[in-house]
Each structure stands twice: as C-alpha cells, then as structure tokens.
Amino acid sequence: MTVNAFTAPGRFLRGNLHTHSNLSDGALDPAEVCRRYKAEGYDFISLTDHFVGLFDYPISDTKAFRDAGFTTILGAELHSGAMENGEIWHILAVGLPEGFAPSNTPDFTPLDGQETGPELAQRARDAGAFVAVAHPHWSGMTTADARSIEAAHAVEVYNHGCGVDCDRAEGFHTADLLLNEGRRVTLIATDDAHFSSNDAFGGWVMVKAPENTPNALLEALKAGHFYASQGPELRDVELVGETLTVTSSPVETVIVMGEGSRTKTVHGTAMTRTRLYLNPVKHSRWIRIAVVDRAGKRAWSNPIWRR
C-alpha cells in the first residue's frame, strides 16, 4: 500500500499555515509578508492574525497578493475561553470565510461565560476551516486540553517561532497521545512568523494538490495529503506487508515509530531510498516516519493507520 499523500493527483506545494502581520502583533504589513514568502519560494501561505477585539478581529484579506504562481488562504488564530492553566486558547483556523463571526474576545484575557476553545474550534470547522491545535508546548497545554478540541484536523508539531524565541517548539508528545487514543489527527509544521526575530522560513507543509488554489489546498489538507518539513523532502512512502520503503532527499537517519516506546531506525550516509522492517512496531495501530538530514533538519510524515 502507498500512503495517500504520495498517490494523490497533483504536485507538492510548499506553504506556511501560521503567520502574522501588523494587522495584529506582527512587524510587517500583509503585502510585505506575502512578498517575502513568495521570494523564498513558497507556493502559498495563510496569514493568520490574532482574532481578538484588540485588533478589530482581523481576517486578513490577502486575495490581492495572489498570482499564477502564488496563492493565499484566508485564516486567523482564534482565541476564546481558558485552558486548564488559566490562559486563553490559541486555535489555528485556515480557510475561514471572511464573514466568520467574532467570539467575545476583547483581548488575550479569558472572560467568564465566553465561548470555550472547543466550541470555537467546532464553529470554525463547521464554517469550512482546517483546524489545528496550536503550539501545545508553548501554551502549556494538558492532554485533557488537547483531547477537548474534537474538531481539530491537526496538531502543530513544530512551531519555528516558538522554537527560536522560547525553545518550546514541539507538539509531538501531544499528537502521539491523541493518536494513541485513536484520534486521527495529522501533523503540521509552521513558522508562526511575526518578523520581529529570525522566526520565518523554518517549518512548513508540503501539500499534494491538483492545483495551487485555496479550495484545492484546503481539500488536500483536510484529506491529509501532505507532510511537514524543516528542509528534507519526502518523495514516497510505501508500506507493503511489514516492509516500509521511504524515498527522500539525501538523509542520514530514517525512523519509524508508533504506539509506545519502540522504534525502528536506520542510519547511513546520503540515503535516498531506505527500507525498514516493522518488527519492533508491527503491533501498533499507527506508524509515522521521521527523516533527519546531515544538517539535523527533519521531515515528518502524517500517521499511517494500519487498523
């Protein structure tokens, strides 16, 4: 069997799903944010400014910055209600309609009686958005918090800005715990760029879509037709019986992991086609793959569900 991301029609398109402008707390205006991502070779971005009253609930209109080779998906970072640590929710919503109704969120302080995070996430999904649990490590999110966002399509497993500025970049632990409970979430890497530090161009998704349009990209994201990366390319992942074959750009390590602590790892030099036997993880309901290149940069597949 071959993973859907690699058999789906179309081509891989590079995009960032979490970015800010000066419509909220970013340093640059939307036009310059889009220009920089296009100049860096991205095919698309979603500008996801903070959807709070302090910034007049922005859904940044980036349609004017689309062209034949670059597109944008409207979105926002949503906030409402308190997590278990008393801090406000951060929920990534890519593909929001322009008329999405604001929550009662004047600023970043939770209020009694306001819409909860799970309610807001479900409303965004019902409106057509691709919804992700944002930066769980940075947020201090508990497993119960993450579990409560039943509307989430994905978990943000690498947030470059949180890594650069806070050394709290990851969400793999959260994602794996949800996977262990049977939640079929996918895994995204993002920048969360504000352009007030070196927080851009460090994590992205490669989405397999038939065309570089917002609708096609959203459909592919929701279907899981993508992988996440800091640099390496995943070109094919094929599972036949208990044999996994990973085709990639040159890497030095390929790891397959699943439920529990067991993994299967192959080390080498400039590996581009790596075969692994799944015996250590053969009883896991799901597996996922990580590759590491010579510079220490990683790419991550979405989970492959085996039963």
Tell me the per-residue pLDDT of 218-277, one tens digit each, with 9 for 90 and over. Answer: 999 999 999 999 999 999 999 999 999 999 999 999 999 999 999 999 999 999 999 999
Same domain, 17 and 148: yes
pTM of the model: 0.97
Tell me the per-residue pLDDT of 60-113, one tens digit each, with 9 for 90 and over. Answer: 999 999 999 999 999 999 999 999 999 999 999 999 999 999 999 999 999 999
Whether the Cβ atoms of residue 274 and residue 252 lie closer than 8 Å to each other = no
Tell me the per-residue pLDDT of 26-65, one tens digit each, with 9 for 90 and over. Answer: 999 999 999 999 999 999 999 999 999 999 999 999 999 9
Return the pLDDT at 77.
98
End of a domain among 176, 199, 229?
Answer: 229
Q: What is the CA radius of gyration of the chain?
A: 19
CATH code, domain with 291: 2.60.40.10
Return the pLDDT at 122.
98
Return the pLDDT at 307.
86
The mean per-residue pLDDT over the stretch 149-169 comes to: 98
Kindly tell me if the per-residue pLDDT of 2 is higher than 80: no
Return the pLDDT at 4.
85
How many domains, the chain? 2
Mean pLDDT across the chain, nearest whole number? 97
Same domain, 50 and 15: yes
The mean per-residue pLDDT over the stretch 276-293 comes to: 96
Whether the Cβ atoms of residue 62 and residue 74 lie closer than 8 Å to each other = yes
Residues spanned by the domain of 148? 4-229
Kindly tell me if the per-residue pLDDT of 160 is higher than 60: yes
Same domain, 185 and 249: no
Return the pLDDT at 249.
98
